[in-house]
Amino acid sequence: MSDARLVLVTSTYETLRSRLQSAFDTLEVGADPVLRTSERGDYQANGVMALAKRLGRSPREVAEIVVDAVDLTDVATVEIAGPGFLNLTVQPVFLDAQLRNLSHDPRLGLAPVAEALRVIIDYSAPNVAKEMHVGHLRSTVIGDALARMYRFGGHQVIARNHVGDWGTNFGMLIEHLLDVGDEGAASTLSIGDLDEFYRAARVKFDSDDAFKGRSRTRVVALQSGDPETLRLWHVLVNQSIAYFSEVYRKLDVTLTAQDVVGESYYNDKLADVVRDLDAIGLLVESEGALCVFPEGFQNREGEPLPLIVQKSDDGFGYAASDLAALRDRVDILKGDELLYVVGAPQVQHLEMVFAVARMAGWLPDRVRCEQVVFGNVLGTDHKMFKSRAGETVKLVSLVDEAVERAFVILDERGTDLDGDAKYLLAEQIARAAIKYADLSTERQHDYVFDLDRMIAFEGDTGPYLQYAHARLRSIFRRSGDEWQAGNAHFALEATAERNLALGLLGLPEAFFTSLGALQPHRLCTYLFDLAQRFTSFYDACPVLSSEGALREERLALCDLTARTLKLGLGVLGIDAPEQM
């Protein structure tokens, strides 16, 4: 607000919507105009249909009243189409003014929200001393995209990486650590061979009774806080976190070691969860376990299904730590929104946790609490994504393979770059391919992981969008570095120019729709559509060879397009390189 240079452009959509709203209000306060972009006009409002039905009047009649009441002077022309749709065509003067404003707005019309919320996003959640595999890909990529979008939207984000760093198998892991020695373990873990470490421990546990006995004793020592055992446990945890950080670096994910708040963090709060549930009278003992029975959940036999808070062996289940974490996020972190980016198999469990939290009064209505559900990653055979040997695929090998593939593609088409620059570019392309493929599909759907398709430079892919951006930047390299956003007049005489311009004005709406629905794919769709508008423009409208005001105008359109693509991709966690 205090920064006068930050031009807060009222979005085109919002301008149209609010003017229509005033007109609709004359008939019924708050009636939704239902405005959307359209192929018939630039925008179409079809809220008249629903309103007419409620008022018991003919749609046509209502449409005429709205048209008479609406003030769209110098903004758009309206015409009634069909039974009562309002088709809006934006006026040239308004387009020109909007584009001029955008030219000077670093946020491209995307004003930060008036009221910042504190949003807690739980995502990634790998397990200590276990490999990160494809199953963690979606949580990590989607969670990080949402975190970036919330931040850019003006909210405060607290990322929580709910790492699995506790449980009975740590007895076995620590004993194995002792067998191979600190340094041996460190070297195995640091090169990222976590699967090997875990497998070796498991094999001994299953085949060696003495080892099994030591492991059980070790669990007890760990739970009772034995200092040496805790030291060993820390070795495992720290090595793993270092490894995860390397994976996040490869993926360009914003999670840091500070965001890791594992299950162990809640250990001393679990007893309180049980005690407090008991005090409220929700706790029921069933088959030796302490449970809460939220309404509406049944087991196979049609009997009430419990959320087991404390197991019959007195140990705490993950329900307990999830409840403790939820309380922490509401009471201590003061979250306004709690998001859990967790896969579909956990739907019932989290629903039960949320239900119990509400019953206990730990989750007030003002707090939005939601699981950001996502589907599975499938192989090209439409079965769960596995390696040829039938094993789960390591996340790092997935990324590495994509980088190699990007390298090959760069070589094939010949690049000016070499050495580190070339490697960095290959990484950027690989990440774009993987992330965009994941983000551009509606997240609840399973999707098919097909590296060839997602790294292709043609079609609806990350690299295609990067390429569109790189071509744009190339224009400016050739134009000489004297160009800067000036006062171009946007006449938009060519159809392709006008289509591109309308696309550019759509960013705020696309962004907030996407964020509001927690659906990054909507922003992807917008960016791809914009890129297509651009390539059509690029083909039809020469930029550098045009002259005078027209050249200025087209350069300004290119500048806006490049910035919009870069911003949009960036907010999804995808780089937009200057050249490819």
Partner RNA sequence: GCGGCUGUAGCUCAGCGGAUUAGAGCAUCGGUCUACGGAACCGAGGGUCGGGGGUUCGAAUCCCUCCAGCCGCACCA
Going across the sheet that includes 284-286, the strands are 284-286, 289-292, 307-310
Nearest Cα residue to 173 out of 134, 144, 205: 205
- Min CB(290)–RNA separation in Å: 8
Tokens 């974490």 found at: 325
Nearer CB in complex with RNA: 109/306: 306
CA distance 79 to 77: 7
CB of 11 or CB of 440, closer to RNA: 440
What is the C-alpha to C-alpha distance for residues 150 and 120, in angstroms, rounded to an integer?
10
How many helices (H) and strands (E) would you count in the chain? 20, 13
C-alpha distances (whole Å) from 217 to each of 165, 169, 221, 223, 315 are 18, 12, 6, 10, 15
* CA gap 514, 460 in Å, rounded: 18
Least distance to RNA, CB of residue 538, Å: 5
Single-letter residue type at 37: T
Q: Quick one: 68 or 287, whose CB is closer to RNA?
A: 287
* Rounded least distance, CB 110 to RNA, Å: 19
The Cα 23–Cα 183 span in angstroms is 74
| Token pair belonging to 127 | 């397990």
Q: Which residue, 118 or 130, is less far from RNA as judged by CB?
A: 130
CB of 477 to RNA, least distance (A): 8
Report the C-alpha gap between 498 and 140 in whole angstroms.
Answer: 38
Helix (H) or strand (E) holding 119: strand 118-122
CB of 452 to RNA, least distance (A): 9
Q: Which is nearer to RNA, 248 or 538 (CB)?
A: 538
Q: Tell the smallest beta-carbon distance from residue 272 to RNA (Å).
A: 18
Complex with RNA: residue 143 or 306, whichever CB lies closer: 306
C-beta separation of 506 from 460 below 8 A: no
Provide the minimum distance between the beta carbon of 115 and RNA in the complex, in angstroms, as a whole number: 21
Write down how long the chain is: 580
CB of 264 to RNA, least distance (A): 10
With CA atoms as reference, report the closest residue to 329 among 578, 162, 516.
162
Instruction: Indicate the residue among 157 and 524 with the shorter CB distance to RNA.
Output: 524
Closest C-alpha to 94, from 43, 56, 167: 43
Closest approach of RNA to the CB of residue 157, in Å: 23
**Where would I find the H helices in 91-208?**
92-103, 134-153, 169-190, 194-207
- E strands within 203-295? 284-286, 289-292
CB of 366 or CB of 382, closer to RNA: 382
Distance (Å, whole) CA 182 – CA 573: 36
Say how far apart CA 423 and CA 413 lie, in whole Å.
Answer: 15
- CB nearer to RNA: pick between 107 and 123: 123
CB of 466 to RNA, least distance (A): 8
Using DSSP, state whether 493 is helix, strand or coil: coil
The angle, 0 to 180 degrees and rounded to 10, between the axes of the packed helices 12-25 and 507-516 is 80
Element (H, E) at 492: none
- Closest CB 268 distance from RNA, rounded Å: 16
- For RNA, give the closer residue by CB, 254 or 474: 474
User: Is 340 strand, coil or helix?
Assistant: strand
84 or 171: CB nearest RNA: 84
